[in-house]
């Protein structure tokens, strides 16, 4: 059987695996976060490389059409070559430091490296530094064909170095999967350097993405196991980022929710029904907010929502929508208990310079005022927040 045919079949199998991962990863609760977005982008770039790699299998085939496909396929493989290792380095940085702002600063550095590489690649089309395709439509390695491979290897080794140096910051169950990711593509890279006709790097990369999916992406450390909402640690991290990126014109809002008489539900109907009340509350809240909005379990029976809402009227419209949703649920629901929410909410004031704990304390105060039945008018008369 034609070796090129076998390679095409391998690419099709790998593409199918990536589609499987993508479908499942898109349903992940963490899709609003940078780390998840980087992983999804790695899937997309790898899938694109598998497709264009098939075009480069027309090596030696005569005819203008095949020449164009061969030229395009090889150029795109070299063009995309450092992107996945760069994304992996960003993914590792995000996983270790859990600071999206710092990771975004690294993006600029890696973008500069990639732009320099692309400039050299374009010059290589004139001088054949990396590769060239002769008049018979046959691919040949250039004098400096190792440079793209060494760039990818260097980025992968940088990620390994980052993991090892910061191993105390990495959750132990994720340490080995993070270290294992570069191994399959690195092994395949060295094999391809030695054995000219064994281009299995992309298949090794697909296997690595599968390792990460099963060991990291599908086992989130940021999600509350009972409700599926984010946990308090992720809330504080995300709110810190929202505060740091706020400006006078672009800010965010928060709603702190407490389930009324939750202890009574637990004591009267049992802990299983109490758990059901928590899960039902989250599901109801999710129907009242946008998919890109953030909801976390703040405490035992408390939840916090972060929204990209910049004015109080829009925020009050959201809280009214949640209240109406609860009323409808109580009328048509078949639970033995009735749900009720107390809510404290506010638009973050950029000029206040409040930190995470200050803003949470503020909306917590508003929530307990709501629970005690204190109106906004009474609060204005009896309570003044000084920024």
What CATH number is attached to the domain comprising 163? 1.20.1070
pLDDT band at 150 (very low <50, low <70, confident <90, very high): very high
Instruction: Identify whether 222 is part of a domain.
Output: no
Please indicate, yes or no, whether residues 113 and 182 belong to a single structural domain of this protein.
yes
pLDDT band at 64 (very low <50, low <70, confident <90, very high): confident
Instruction: Compute the distance between CA of residue 19 and CA of residue 206 in angstroms, rounded to an integer.
Output: 11
Please indicate, yes or no, whether residues 188 and 244 belong to a single structural domain of this protein.
no
Residues 379-386, mean pLDDT to the nearest whole number:
46
pLDDT band at 372 (very low <50, low <70, confident <90, very high): confident
Instruction: Identify whether 387 is part of a domain.
Output: no
Q: Output 353 or 173, whichever has higher pLDDT.
A: 353
What pLDDT score was predicted for residue 30?
Answer: 65
Give the residue ranges of DSSP H helices in the chain: 3-26, 34-55, 64-80, 83-97, 100-127, 146-165, 172-180, 183-194, 201-212, 232-244, 262-269, 271-288, 312-332, 356-371, 376-382
Instruction: Report the CATH number at residue 249.
Output: 3.30.70.270
Please report, rounded to a whole number, the percentage of residues in the chain having pLDDT higher than 70: 92
Instruction: Identify whether 53 is part of a domain.
Output: yes
Q: In what order do the strands lie in the sheet with 294-297?
A: 294-297, 302-307, 253-259, 341-347
Residues 303-313, mean pLDDT to the nearest whole number:
95
Neighbours of 247 (CB within 10 A): 7
Q: Give, rounded to a whole angstrom, the gap between the first and last alpha carbons of the chain.
A: 75
Instruction: Compute the distance between CA of residue 170 and CA of residue 22 in angstroms, rounded to an integer.
Output: 25
Instruction: Identify whether 331 is part of a domain.
Output: yes
Using DSSP's 3-state secondary structure scheme, residue 289 falls into coil
What pLDDT score was predicted for residue 28?
Answer: 64
Please indicate, yes or no, whether residues 270 and 170 belong to a single structural domain of this protein.
no
Please indicate, yes or no, whether residues 27 and 156 belong to a single structural domain of this protein.
yes
What pLDDT score was predicted for residue 189?
Answer: 87
Please indicate, yes or no, whether residues 99 and 194 belong to a single structural domain of this protein.
yes
Domain that holds residue 68: 3-217
Instruction: Identify whether 242 is part of a domain.
Output: yes
Instruction: Identify whether 197 is part of a domain.
Output: yes
Please indicate, yes or no, whether residues 271 and 338 belong to a single structural domain of this protein.
yes
Residues 292-310, mean pLDDT to the nearest whole number:
94
What pLDDT score was predicted for residue 197?
Answer: 67
- pLDDT tens digits, one per residue of 217-274: 766 667 887 888 989 988 998 999 899 989 988 999 999 999 999 999 999 999 899 9
Please indicate, yes or no, whether residues 80 and 128 belong to a single structural domain of this protein.
yes
Please report, rounded to a whole number, the percentage of residues in the chain having pLDDT higher than 90: 63
Q: Output 64 or 181, whichever has higher pLDDT.
A: 181
Please indicate, yes or no, whether residues 359 and 269 belong to a single structural domain of this protein.
yes
Please indicate, yes or no, whether residues 204 and 249 belong to a single structural domain of this protein.
no
Last residue of a domain, one of 217, 248, 267: 217
Instruction: Identify whether 223 is part of a domain.
Output: no
Looking up tokens 């009735």, which residue turns up?
338
Concatenated DSSP letters of 110-156 = HHHHHHHHHHHHHHHHHH-SSEEE-TTS-EEE-TTTHHHHHHHHHHH
Q: What are phi and psi of 160, to 5 degrees?
A: -60, -45
Please indicate, yes or no, whether residues 121 and 241 belong to a single structural domain of this protein.
no
Instruction: Identify whether 48 is part of a domain.
Output: yes
Please indicate, yes or no, whether residues 161 and 255 belong to a single structural domain of this protein.
no
State how many domains the chain has: 2
pLDDT of 1 > 60? The answer is: no
Strand 294-297 with 253-259, pairing? unpaired
pLDDT of 363 > 60? The answer is: yes
Please indicate, yes or no, whether residues 169 and 58 belong to a single structural domain of this protein.
yes
Q: Output 129 or 223, whichever has higher pLDDT.
A: 129
What pLDDT score was predicted for residue 4?
Answer: 64
């Amino acid at each position: 059987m034609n070796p090129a045919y076998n390679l095409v079949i391998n690419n099709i199998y790998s593409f199918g695996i990536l589609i499987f991962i993508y479908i499942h990863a898109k349903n992940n609760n963490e899709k609003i976060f940078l780390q998840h977005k980087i992983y999804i982008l790695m899937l997309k770039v790898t899938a694109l490389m598998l497709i264009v790699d098939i075009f480069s299998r027309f090596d030696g085939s005569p005819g203008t059409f095949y020449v164009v496909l061969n030229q395009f396929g090889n150029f795109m493989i070299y063009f995309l070559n450092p992107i996945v290792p760069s994304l992996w380095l960003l993914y590792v940085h995000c996983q270790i430091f859990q600071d999206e702002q710092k990771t975004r600063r690294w993006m600029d550095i890696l973008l500069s490296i990639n732009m320099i590489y692309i400039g050299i690649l374009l010059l290589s089309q004139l001088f054949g530094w990396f590769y060239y395709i002769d008049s018979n439509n046959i691919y040949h390695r250039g004098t400096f064909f190792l440079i793209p491979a060494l760039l990818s290897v260097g980025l992968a080794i940088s990620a390994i170095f980052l993991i090892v140096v910061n191993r105390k910051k990495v959750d132990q169950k994720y340490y080995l999967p993070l270290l294992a990711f570069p191994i399959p593509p690195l092994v395949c890279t060295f094999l391809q350097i030695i054995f000219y006709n064994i281009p299995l790097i992309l298949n090794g990369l697909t296997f690595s993405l599968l390792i990460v999916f099963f060991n990291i992406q599908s086992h989130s450390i940021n999600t509350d196991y009972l409700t599926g909402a984010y946990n308090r640690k992720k809330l504080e991290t995300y709110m810190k980022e929202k505060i740091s990126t706020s400006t006078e014109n672009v800010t965010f809002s928060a709603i702190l929710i407490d389930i009324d008489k939750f202890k009574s539900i637990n004591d009267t109907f049992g802990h299983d029904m109490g758990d059901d009340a928590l899960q039902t509350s989250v599901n109801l809240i999710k129907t009242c907010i946008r998919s890109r909005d953030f909801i976390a379990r703040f405490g035992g029976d408390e939840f916090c929502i972060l929204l990209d809402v910049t004015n109080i009227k829009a925020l009050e419209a959201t809280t009214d929508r949640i209240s109406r949703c609860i009323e409808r649920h109580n009328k048509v629901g078949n639970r033995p208990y009735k749900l009720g929410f107390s809510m404290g909410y506010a638009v973050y004031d950029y000029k206040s310079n409040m930190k995470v704990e200050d803003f949470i304390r503020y909306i917590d105060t508003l929530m307990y005022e709501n629970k005690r039945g204190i109106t906004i008018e009474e609060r204005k008369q009896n309570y003044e927040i000084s920024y």
